[in-house]
Amino acid sequence: MNAILAIARKDLRIEWRTRTLLARVIPFALLVLVLFAVALDSEPLLLRAAAGLVWLAMLFAAMLLVQRSFDVETADHALDSLMSFVSSPSKVFFGKALSMFVQLFALAVVLLGAAVVLYGARVDGDSVVLLVTVLITATIGLSVVGTLYGVVVANMSGRDSLLPLLALPVLAPLLIGAARATEAALGSDTIDLANGWAWVALLVSYAVVFGSAGAVAFAPLAQSDS
C-alpha cells in the first residue's frame, strides 16, 4: 500500500514540476474539441455529438498522459530498478494507475466544462449524480487500460505509434459506454436516465475486468528488451 502511494506520489510530483497536464495536455484536449468543431462546421451537429466528442478528446489526451508516464520510467531505464524495489509488480501497476486516475479525472472535469461552453451542452441538477458516476467509472477504466498498454509498449522503440494502435480499439467500448451515459446525463432526447445507469454498469464491469487483468499481467510485461 505504502509502495503504491509512494509511486503515485512520485508521478504526481514529476507532473507538478513539469506541469505536463496543466500546461500541455489540457490545452491540447481543448484544442481537439475546437478542431472537431472546425472539422464538423455545424452547430446543431456539434450539440448532438458533444458527449461523444468529449470522450474522444479524453482518449487522445489519455494517450499523451500514458506516454508521458512511461517515458519518465524508460528515459534512463528507471523501470527496471523500480520493479526490483517492490515486493510485487502489481504495486507498480496500481501506483501508476492511481496517478493516472488523478490526472485524467481533472482533465475530464475540465473537458466537460468546456463542452458546456463550446458546444452548448447543458447539465441539469437531477442528473449530476449520474454525470459524476460516469466520470469516475469511465476514468478508472481509462486509467487501468492506459497503464496496462503503457507498460506493454514501454520499452519498445517507436512506442508513440504503437500505444494508440493497441489501446484505442480496446478503449472503444469505453468510448461508446461513456459517451452514451454522458449523453443521458446531459439530457439528450435519444436516451434517458435509466438507460444511462445501464451504461454505467457496463463501465464498472469494464474497469473491474481490466483492473484485475492489469494487476495479473503487469509482471510478465514489465521487462525491458535490451
Partner 1 sequence: MALGGFPALAGVDLVVRCGELVALRGANGTGKSTLLRLCAGLAPLTRGSAHVLGFDVARQRDVVRTMVGLLGHDNGLYADLTARENVEFVAQLVGAGTNDVESALDRLGIDSRVAAARAGALSAGQRRRTALAALVVRRARLWLLDEPHAGLDGQARAELDGILRDATRSGATVVYTTHELEVPGARIPRTITLSGGIVARDVESADPS
Partner 2 sequence: MKTGTTTTRVLGIFALLITTWVVVSAFFLTPADVVQGDSVRIMYAHVPTAWIAYLAFVTTAVASGLSLVRKHRTLGFDRVAGASAEVGVLFMAMTLITGSLWGRLTWGTFWQWDPRLTTTLFLFVTYVGYLAIRRVDVDPVRRARRSSVIALLAVLEIPLVHFSVVLWRSLHQEASVLNTDGDVRLDDLMLFTLFSGVVAFTLIFVWLVVHRQRLAAMSDVERLVGLDVAITARRAESTVGGGGI
1, 2, 41, 87: residue in contact with partner 2 (rule CB under 8 A):
41
Among the candidate windows 8-16, 131-139, 170-178, 200-208, which touches partner 1 by CB under 8 A? 8-16
* Cell numbers placing 95: 501506483
Residue 39 lies near partner 2 (rule: CB under 8 A): no
Using CB atoms within 10 Å of the CB of residue 40, give its burial: 0 to 12 exposed, 13 to 18 middle, 19+ buried. Answer: middle
Q: Estimate to the nearest angstrom the gap between the alpha carbon of 183 and the chain centroid.
A: 18
Nearer CB in complex with a second copy: 158/220: 158
Give 187: exposed, middle or buried? Use CB within 10 Å, 0-12, 13-18, 19+.
Answer: middle
What is the residue whose three cell numbers read 494508440?
A: 164
Query: Using CB under 8 A, which of the segments 2-10, 36-44, 123-131, 137-145 binds partner 1?
Result: 2-10
Site string for partner 2, 154-193 (x = CB under 8 A): --xx----x--xx-xxx-xx------x---------xxx-
CA gap 172, 17 in Å, rounded: 32
Binding range to partner 2, per CB under 8 A, among 63-71, 85-93, 94-102, 152-160: 152-160
86 neighbors 3 (Cβ within 8 angstroms): yes
Asked if 22 touches partner 1 (CB under 8 A), the answer is no
Residue 78 touches partner 2, criterion: CB under 8 A: no
Within 13 Å, how many C-alpha atoms sit on residue 27's CB side? Answer: 5
Q: DSSP alpha helices (H): ranges in 119-192?
A: 128-153, 159-185
- Find the angle CA(181)-CA(211)-CA(135) to the nearest 5 degrees: 25
Judged by CB under 8 A, does residue 161 bind partner 1?
no
Residue 220 CB coordination number (10 Å):
8
Interface contacts to partner 1, rule CB under 8 A: 2-3, 6-7, 10, 13-14, 17-18, 72, 75-78, 80-89, 157, 219, 223-224, 226
Interface contacts to partner 2, rule CB under 8 A: 19, 23-24, 27, 30-31, 34, 37-38, 41-43, 46, 116-120, 148, 152-153, 156-157, 162, 165-166, 168-170, 172-173, 180, 190-192, 195, 198-199, 202, 209-210, 213, 217, 220-221, 223, 225
